[in-house]
């Protein structure tokens, strides 16, 4: 086996010793004692009280009582997968991080996606930021890139994080609303903490309702440092670029999915990996020489600011592939412990005050959630390289340390474990020169809260701007306090007078006065209209009944599959559907067990044996898909149904009798994802 293959399998091999197959095995206690009875507790007589001597009952019940650990305060609702990372070219010029040196070398990874605001039981397609956290199991130790799908954040200093979360979470007097920012306390926080303006623009955009985890970007948010072997540093920001492009839901669709399938995003990720449609993301970095730290009209350490890609290009340096689902959600997804302070030589921090606070907070959180200081020993968190130190004991200790010495310095163990010189791989903090008085202040360079919020607005396409207007109107329409609504209107007049005026009218507030922002700059990279558009893995609902033209429909179905799409048959009943020439296809869904919002596109075939109910249900599916700007195709009997709905000439609606030509045009329509011309036409 090659060294690369050994590296690729290292984490997987390590986890194998913890995997247990229970099927066909004898029942035992946790200590391995075989159990003769598991139906009845030990009693003093058949009708008597249970006695304390019943160690099996106590062990079983105690474990059950402790099966749930405290959920994360934020990012509680998450799902994860294993994968591998491969760098495209050596980054030796910029960093000595080992996993970024050798093209072709596979580094095991574990990635957790999550919503921020909701509890573990909340739905997944809510309007919210999404966590995108990656653990790299490198040979130099674990490196955690703990990010979001939005490149900026609400606040500039970590001391305000408890305030933000308290305002965003359900209001404490009635514990409502769940997983939603459309309420008074959140918008009161926004209006009175105006550094949040830029992040709020992203949160009100389509970025906050992604189509899937596979189709959203990831960002490290903060400014970090790369440091090379010579000690030279560059500031760096991290980006994950999805190979399938960046795509979103529409708001009405997202709300309905929450009811139809609250597990929509995790199901999508799980099924994609099970189908071998492995999610892929390219890692990009923005690099900035230290001498250019003050070359821009924003502070590069301000977490409410992004680095425009047109000014500081994103260099694509590697690919992440998610290729294995978890074996157990609790043991892996829930117990994984991410921390931005888990770094390797060659990666260091900046003085971003939000990042500095996170370096404390994450350790403190894991101590509570995972029961003590040994969370690093849980299988999912264990590094693949050996670890040796003088930390001992504590809850959940798994390592059995031999010997009498557990301190540094010592002579009894020849002063081991010993520190490692930086030239031999020991971590050394970047020697940044620092000076100044101890103050509770913020740099004046952090005071501009609106320019980049306007940059984001200027960068949006017309449909995206309309969606942002609707989002503000919806969210603030849920706010009861008139003063808060007016404060938000006045605040966002500094971003865009057009935007603020539109939602002011919708929520009964006084339209703002003034000239609005003077910022005219835009960044095309921020608009999803400029993303990759591919048909790969798109889920197409194929509506058909008995008597369909099986020969011609097969041509279309084969074409969809060859383009990487996933056609799934919908009919009035499960089982086999018989075509006109006797061939059969199996229905995957009924109208009752699925819904229009769960598909990316529809292909309407029909059939000879159609009831009024079948046509009525088809009509409902197609009308809703049309309202959500989705591609719709029809052949055979389906063409007449689309004519009845008067949508045949609409953008993204494809029909025809030539099956090859129809299939080609339909694939093109699906590739576009949405057909916004229906909205603006």
Distances (CA, A) of 4 to 1, 73, 319, 347, 553: 8, 38, 16, 23, 45
| Sign of the C-alpha dihedral computed for residues 432, 436, 441 and 443 taken in this order | negative
Which among 130, 230, 246, 222 is positioned nearest to 179, based on CA atoms?
130
Which among 503, 481, 474 is positioned nearest to 491, based on CA atoms?
503
Mark out the alpha helices in 235-308 (DSSP H runs): 251-260, 264-274
Question: Which residues is 118 bridged to in the sheet?
Answer: none
CA-to-CA distance for 326 and 543, rounded, in angstroms? 33
Q: Judge whether 148 counts as a catalytic residue.
A: yes
CA-to-CA distance for 306 and 147, rounded, in angstroms? 14
| Active-site residue (options: 142, 148, 458, 494) | 148
| Active-site residue (options: 56, 75, 222, 628) | 75
Helix (H, G, I), strand (E, B) or coil at 420: coil
- Backbone φ and ψ for 609, nearest 5 degrees, come out as -100, 80
Extract the tokens encoding 19.
């995997």
CA-to-CA distance for 228 and 638, rounded, in angstroms? 62
Beta strands in 389-489 (DSSP E): none
Contact 572, 611 (CB under 8 A): yes
CA-to-CA distance for 148 and 156, rounded, in angstroms? 16
Helix (H, G, I), strand (E, B) or coil at 99: helix
Extract the tokens encoding 361.
């907070």
Extract the tokens encoding 425.
């791989």
Distances (CA, A) of 493 to 469, 475, 518, 526: 13, 17, 11, 21
Query: Beta 130-138 vs 141-148: how paired, if at all?
Result: antiparallel
DSSP state of 43: B
- Backbone φ and ψ for 576, nearest 5 degrees, come out as -85, 140
Q: Judge whether 192 counts as a catalytic residue.
A: no
Helices (H) and strands (E) in the chain, counts: 17, 18
Q: Longest C-alpha distance within the chain, in Å?
A: 90
What's the order of all strands across the beta sheet hosting 601-606? 589-590, 566-571, 539-544, 601-606, 632-634, 653-655
Buried b (16+ CB within 10 A) or exposed e, 34-57: eeeeeeeeeeeeeeeeeeeeeebb
Q: Hey, which residues are catalytic here?
A: 75, 148
């Amino acid at each position: 086996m090659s060294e690369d293959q050994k590296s690729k399998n290292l984490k997987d091999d390590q986890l194998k010793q913890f995997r247990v197959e229970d099927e066909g095995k004898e029942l035992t206690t946790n200590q391995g004692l075989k159990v003769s009875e598991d139906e009845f507790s030990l009693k003093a007589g058949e009708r008597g009280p249970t006695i304390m001597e019943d160690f099996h009952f106590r062990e079983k019940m105690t474990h059950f009582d402790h099966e749930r650990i405290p959920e994360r305060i934020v990012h509680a609702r998450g799902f994860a997968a294993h994968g591998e990372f491969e760098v495209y070219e050596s980054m030796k010029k910029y960093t000595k991080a080992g996993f970024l040196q050798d093209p072709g070398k596979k580094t095991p990874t574990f990635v957790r996606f999550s919503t921020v605001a909701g509890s573990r039981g909340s739905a997944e397609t809510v309007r919210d930021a999404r966590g995108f956290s990656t653990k790299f199991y490198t040979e130099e130790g674990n490196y955690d890139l703990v990010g979001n799908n939005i490149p900026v954040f609400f606040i500039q200093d970590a001391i305000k994080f408890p305030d933000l979360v308290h305002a965003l979470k359900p209001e404490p007097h009635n514990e409502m609303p769940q997983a939603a920012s459309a309420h008074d306390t959140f918008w009161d926080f926004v209006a009175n903490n105006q550094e949040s303006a830029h992040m709020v623009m992203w949160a009100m955009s389509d970025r906050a309702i992604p189509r899937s985890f596979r189709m959203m970007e990831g960002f490290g948010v903060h400014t970090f440092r790369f440091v090379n072997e010579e000690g030279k540093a560059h500031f760096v920001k991290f980006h994950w670029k999805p190979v399938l492009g960046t795509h979103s839901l529409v708001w009405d669709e997202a709300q309905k999915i929450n009811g139809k399938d609250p597990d929509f995003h995790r199901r999508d990720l799980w099924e994609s990996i099970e189908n071998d449609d492995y999610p892929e993301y390219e890692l990009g970095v923005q690099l900035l020489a230290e001498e250019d730290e003050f070359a821009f009209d924003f502070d590069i350490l301000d977490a409410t600011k992004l680095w425009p890609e047109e000014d500081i290009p994103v260099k694509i340096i590697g690919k992440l592939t998610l290729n294995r689902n978890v074996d157990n959600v609790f043991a892996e997804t829930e117990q994984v412990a991410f921390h931005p302070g888990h770094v390797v030589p060659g990666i260091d921090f900046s003085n971003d005050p939000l990042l500095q606070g996170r370096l404390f907070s994450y350790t403190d959180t894991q101590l509570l959630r995972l029961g003590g200081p040994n969370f690093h020993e849980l299988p999912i968190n264990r590094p693949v390289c050996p670890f040796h130190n003088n930390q001992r004991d504590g809850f959940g200790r798994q390592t059995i340390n031999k010997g009498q010495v557990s301190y540094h310095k010592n002579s009894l163990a020849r002063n081991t474990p010993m520190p490692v010189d930086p030239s031999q791989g020991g971590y050394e903090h970047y020697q940044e020169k620092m000076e100044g008085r101890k103050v509770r202040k913020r740099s004046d360079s952090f005071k501009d809260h609106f320019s980049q919020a306007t940059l984001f607005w200027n960068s949006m396409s017309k449909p995206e701007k309309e969606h942002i207007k609707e989002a503000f109107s919806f969210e603030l329409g849920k706010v009861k306090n008139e003063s808060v609504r007016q404060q938000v209107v006045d605040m966002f007049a500094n971003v865009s007078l057009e935007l603020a005026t539109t939602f002011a009218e919708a929520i009964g507030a006084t339209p703002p006065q003034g000239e609005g922002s003077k910022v005219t700059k835009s960044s095309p990279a921020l608009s999803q209209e400029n993303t990759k558009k591919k048909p790969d893995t798109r889920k197409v609902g194929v509506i058909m009944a008995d008597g369909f033209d099986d020969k011609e429909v097969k041509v279309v179905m084969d074409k969809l599959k060859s383009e990487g799409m996933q056609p799934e048959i919908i009919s009035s009943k499960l089982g086999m559907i018989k075509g006109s020439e006797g061939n059969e296809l199996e229905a995957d869904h009924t109208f009752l067990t699925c819904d229009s919002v769960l598909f990316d596109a529809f292909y309407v075939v029909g059939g000879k044996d159609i009831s009024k109910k079948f046509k009525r249900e088809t009509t409902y599916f197609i009308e809703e898909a049309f309202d959500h700007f989705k591609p719709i195709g029809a052949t055979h009997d389906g063409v007449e149904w689309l004519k009845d709905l008067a949508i045949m000439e609409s953008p993204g609606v494809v029909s025809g009798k030539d099956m090859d030509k129809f299939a080609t045009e339909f694939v093109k329509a699906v590739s576009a994802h949405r057909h916004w011309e229906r909205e603006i036409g």
